[in-house]
Structure 1
Amino acid sequence: MPSKRHARNGSEHYVVEAILADATVDGVRMYEIKWEGFSDEHNSWVAEQSLSCPDLLAAYHAARQPNRTDLSPFYRILRDAREYHPIVVTNTVDDSGSPEDFTYINASTYTEDVPRPCTPLHACTCTDGCTSACSCVRQRCYDEHGRVCVPEKTALLECGPHCACDAQCWTRVVQHGSRVKFEIRRFPQKGWGVVARAPIPRGTFIVEYIGELITFEEAEQRGAADSARGLTYLFDLDMGCAGDLADFTIDAKRYGNVAHFFNHSCEPNMLLYPVYVEHRDPRLHRLAFFAAHDIAVGEELTFDYSPSCPNSGGAMFACACGAPKCRKRIYM
């Protein structure tokens, strides 16, 4: 085997078939590698100093449009991201290097005025696999591949940390985190967005919407300033409420995860579901995105910011989603 295509993994050597992506992790340039003789499931990230394939590296960089700016500040923001796959950042459009005043977090935080959930989960005692009779669930919401199989906005009930079932229980999907490969990409008209770096089958859990849990009153104050600038990072937790108004809201403007960068589309490819894991308090459910249909490599991940009607009373902005059935306006 030609040494110029080798990569080291301890004392063993493997042959590099292709270089798929690159990212800077803790200041180290990493490359996603497809290994010769192995399926895509075995792709892995390798530090540049561990690669001995200069020809492949040169060809990889020659085939890519160079970034227009230094993305080191952005990768420093992503340094604390505990995603299953490193997030890649690309900007071939302008000189924007990173978002301002944004901190990457991996779980939502509670502000002082938000109470902790008060509807505890009664742990199940299932030991042979949870069924619809399990005290934690009402119906089977995931199929054998862990993909959602109930209508959008249906409450997804997962077994909690004190349940007797093991970590492989079919109910445990969102709590295990995302396995999606993300690329944060700069777009000419929309700014930062997110695209898929690998195919995503329909029904796959994509990511949880993470941010600050705040009161509805606080959300009204923050939202007034943001709406004037056409921004929307507020998500009301109203999917479990009997009325029209939520008591609490998730704000992902300053603190959030990769979902902070999702753009709007009038024909989105993601669906949103309320999720309950540690408790069953309808006021404080989680929010999780799932694939509405099969998503291809390079396809942007989008959701509908505002499916409300024009007479909702909110601010109006021009829509740049480009969907065939674009409504031309976003109402906030």
Structure 2
Amino acid sequence: MEMGSVVGLGDVNFSTEPKTPTPTMIFPKIEPKLEPLDEFTPQSMNPNSNFSYNSCFRNTTTPQQQQLNATSSQTPSSIEAGVHSEYNRISELFQTAFAQSVQRDGDVEANEDLGCRAIVPVSNGSQVSNIVITRRKYEKRSSELVRVTDLKPEDVRYFRDLIRKTRMLYDSLRIFVNLEDENSQHLGSGRQTRARGDLKASQMMREHGLWLNRDKRTVGPIPGVLVGDLFLYRMELCVVGLHGTPQAGIDYLPANQSSNGEPIATSIIASGGYEDDEDAGDVIIYTGQGGQDKNSRQVVHQKLEGGNLALERSMYYGVEVRVIRGFKYVGSSSGKVYVYDGLYRITESWFDVGKSGFGVYKYKLVRIENQPDMGSAILRFAESLRTRPLEVRPMGYISLDISRKKENVPVFLFNDIDNERDPACYDYLLKTVFPPYVYQHVGNGSGCECTDGCGNGTNCFCAMKNGGQFAYDTNGILLRGKPIIFECGPHCSCPPTCSNRVSQKGVRNRFEVFRSRETDWGVRSLDLLQAGSFICEYTGVVLTQEQAQIFTMNGDSLIYPSHFAERWAEWGDLSRIDSNYARPAYPSIPPLDFAMDVSRMRNLACYMSHSSSPNVLVQPVLYDHNNVSFPHLMLFAMENIPPLRELSIDYGMPDDCTGKLAICN
């Protein structure tokens, strides 16, 4: 596949006479501009690619090794045999990754001759550490600055899919770590600390060389990362290469790695952590790093060095920087979000007296024109829509609830393009309608008898049908896609609060069906949809083959579940981490040999558009009957989906002529 070019930054000219430099003042040594400790710890390109790199600064010296400190607590105790057996192998992998990180930082040494797995601190040579593990050197970050240009459409799709798969793996690992921590606490390990799956997942991916964009330092946009992409954890920014430092707010190429001995900044995180910061959206007054105490108060003067000097040099050479905004957000599992808001140019730099009376360096950043809307602005806009839709957008709403109160929350219908109001003309179908014979032989004895709740699923009949464990964590997040999932249902003795009742509870987020120039009709959420979270059911009236033939002749709109791509297999796929990983094959179901009529009754799912790189997967689920040939089609988020981003499904069979699907859309 031919690709575009990744070219050197030809607009950077080191021979140009420099501007009058800002006077260097002698102040106490600064510390890096750090983000909250809450998120702190401690490459690949398409092999067929022919696109070029524009090298802006070529390094002739050895890159400085950047070590990350291990912050993980002790390894969780192993889970009892037979309980949560599906996760035991993953647990072993996390133990190994943690041991490697501790060993790497010099806390322990390896003795491969002993079979002990204990981690023992080294103390003046008097103690011996025993870890069955070999030392592994991490891939160092490149010191070569490049800018990616001229990407062809197929290149854009390739890199977007690479980012998508990397983020799915990160989220899957993070969820598994948190689950293991919950299980070890449940089994009485005595450890009551908060699970840090975000840190352990990133550490494991780094151990396996799965961090992206390590072979080049990219100036400007990262291929595959879109303006508005949303991240819940700082370490995920490092994994995809959007911001390369786990805690510092300024990411830059150090002077000792630069060919001309000058540092260059490539990205910043603006989180309002400095009292002199000012953020007006398109214009940011960004305070330099250093001089703060643990309470974020400025207590000493800043110096023009490190990240501060890097920002000044980026301004001088006209090098744009990526801006990521971080702030608290209700609905995020971490309590915060980090949103990529695009590229900014540094237009001014000056030394000033800050609010606390100490000297600080300030930088004026102006957003480059003709970029998509800022993700942080869209988040604020969506928040206002949730509570004041008619005040915020007085024109365009056809209905404030096309479900007519059938759903738990309203489903908006919006069209500001033309007079079409098609979705308001159909009956809203809350759940799929199956033929009566599907419910035969369903009754007492077909469900579990866990009167006090299903707990960890050890003796739960529904857990046994799932292969010995439940499909969700305690927050209702899908752990791993399967051919089919059995939830507890109306014939079970467990209470409605059972953690194995997730998809049957209906819609919990606020959605909007909207008119789109690109996809006719589309669906977007007004809430943040976390990766692995339930969205809604894809509903319709189930037809037999004979009935489907008659309906097709009448020109009615039919959906064939067998055509849906099996994207469920991608969620929880740990094959790049675990060489023994096998795609789930149990519980198995026969081919879905039926059709669904959505011509007269449907729900919001029918308006989701098709994509070969979807952000929504279809997961078969059973809960109200036991006929595996007729499962409910439940939709789950494949990634963290920001508010107002269109939802898409891989229908599997788009029309070759129009590129659109021959369904109700």
The bucket for the TM-score relative to the shorter chain is 0.5 to 0.7
Please say which structure displays the higher CA radius of gyration. 2
Q: CA deviation at 1:221?
A: 3.9
Matched residues in 1 for 2:535 and 2:479: separation? 14
Tell me which residue corresponds to 2:656: 316
1:64 matches 2:410: no
**Equivalent residue for 1:293, pick from 636, 639, 660:** 639
Tell me which residue corresponds to 1:124: 448
Matched residues in 2 for 1:243 and 1:98: separation? 35
Render the CA deviation track for 1:214-253: whole Å, top value 9, x for unaligned. 11222244346659xxx6644349998865461x222223
Supply the AA of the counterpart residue of 1:190: T
Matched residues in 2 for 1:267 and 1:89: separation? 25
> Could you tell me whether the CA contact under 8 Å between 2:400 and 2:410 is conserved in 1?
no
Tell me which residue corresponds to 1:33: none
Deviation larger for 158-167 or 264-273: 158-167
Relative contact order: is structure 1 or structure 2 higher (C-alpha 8 Å, sep ≥ 6)?
1
Supply the AA of the counterpart residue of 1:108: T
Matched residues in 2 for 1:132 and 1:223: separation? 47
Tell me which residue corresponds to 1:78: 403
Relative to 1, partners in 2 of residues 1:66 and 1:244: Cα closer, same or farther, differing over 3 Å?
same
1:198 matches 2:522: no
Supply the AA of the counterpart residue of 1:107: K
> Could you tell me whether the CA contact under 8 Å between 1:117 and 1:284 is conserved in 2?
no
Q: CA deviation at 1:62?
A: 7.5
Secondary structure at the aligned position of 2:651 is classed as: coil
Relative to 1, partners in 2 of residues 1:225 and 1:266: Cα closer, same or farther, differing over 3 Å?
farther
Relative to 1, partners in 2 of residues 1:191 and 1:232: Cα closer, same or farther, differing over 3 Å?
farther
Q: CA deviation at 1:66?
A: 2.7
Supply the AA of the counterpart residue of 1:292: M
Structure 2 unpaired stretches of 5+: 1-328, 332-383, 567-586
Secondary structure at the aligned position of 1:210 is classed as: coil
Q: CA deviation at 1:317?
A: 3.3
Matched residues in 2 for 1:100 and 1:83: separation? 15
Render the CA deviation track for 1:169-198: whole Å, top value 9, x for unaligned. 111011111202101110013211110101
Render the CA deviation track for 1:236-284: whole Å, top value 9, x for unaligned. 49998865461x2222232111112111111111111111112221112
Q: CA deviation at 1:116?
A: 2.8
Tell me which residue corresponds to 2:53: none
> Could you tell me whether the CA contact under 8 Å between 2:402 and 2:424 is conserved in 1?
no
Structure with greater proportional strand content: 1
> Could you tell me whether the CA contact under 8 Å between 1:262 and 1:302 is conserved in 2?
yes
Q: Normalising to structure 1: TM-score of the pair?
A: 0.65
> Could you tell me whether the CA contact under 8 Å between 2:611 and 2:651 is conserved in 1?
yes
Q: CA deviation at 1:77?
A: 4.8
Q: CA deviation at 1:212?
A: 0.5
> Could you tell me whether the CA contact under 8 Å between 1:122 and 1:136 is conserved in 2?
no
> Could you tell me whether the CA contact under 8 Å between 2:511 and 2:525 is conserved in 1?
yes
Secondary structure at the aligned position of 2:620 is classed as: strand
Matched residues in 2 for 1:61 and 1:208: separation? 28
**Equivalent residue for 1:235, pick from 561, 564, 572:** 561
Q: CA deviation at 1:154?
A: 3.0
Q: CA deviation at 1:135?
A: 0.9
Secondary structure at the aligned position of 2:548 is classed as: helix
Matched residues in 2 for 1:143 and 1:97: separation? 39
Tell me which residue corresponds to 1:207: 536
Tell me which residue corresponds to 2:545: 216
> Could you tell me whether the CA contact under 8 Å between 1:88 and 1:184 is conserved in 2?
yes
Q: Percent identity?
A: 29
Structure 1 unpaired stretches of 5+: 1-38, 42-55, 309-314, 321-329
**Equivalent residue for 2:599, pick from 249, 253, 269:** 253
- 1:3-18 matched pairs, under 5 angstroms: none
Tell me which residue corresponds to 1:304: 650
1:283 matches 2:283: no
Matched residues in 2 for 1:249 and 1:132: separation? 36
**Equivalent residue for 1:268, pick from 610, 614, 618:** 614
Q: Normalising to structure 2: TM-score of the pair?
A: 0.34
